[in-house]
Amino acid sequence: MTGNALPSTPDAPRPPGAPSGSGRLDPAIAARLKRYADGLVPAIAQQYDTGEVLMLGWMDDEALHRTLTTGRCTYWSRSRREYWVKGDTSGHVQHVKSVALDCDADTLLVKVDQVGAACHTGDRTCFDADVLPLGK
């Protein structure tokens, strides 16, 4: 992430190495998004029926377009510098139930029906393994 700059331009930069997309995000949605300087928006995946927070991924306009049009979560991998559809290699698919913008339009909440583990470690969520102690 590059600083805290959140430009809200519909033509935000694509993440480095991202191919030009075949689809195009609805311009009305694109105009509302506030992206980090690298063109990405955090996307929180939540189990639609239990409210369980599953994981955090990153989306650019193309990933969001694919997510909205296919019903499967597509993310931008910052480490691999490529798009990935959750479950294509693991079988742990996220079926999209709804997508919402937060009040500042800088974070996405994607409610999904998670099949199998959401975390690449095999845990149900990415937040199961390392709960930090609270000081009193």
What are the pLDDT digits (tens) for 10-69?
455 556 555 555 569 999 999 999 999 999 999 999 999 999 999 999 999 999 999 999
- How many angstroms separate the Cα of 107 from the Cα of each of 32, 103, 116? 11, 9, 24
What are the pLDDT digits (tens) for 70-108?
999 999 999 999 999 999 999 999 999 999 999 999 999
Give the type of residue at 123: D
Residue 136 has a pLDDT of: 80
Residue partners of 34: CB distance under 8 A and separation at least 6:
6, 7, 8, 41, 104, 105, 106
Residue recorded with tokens 């390392």:
130
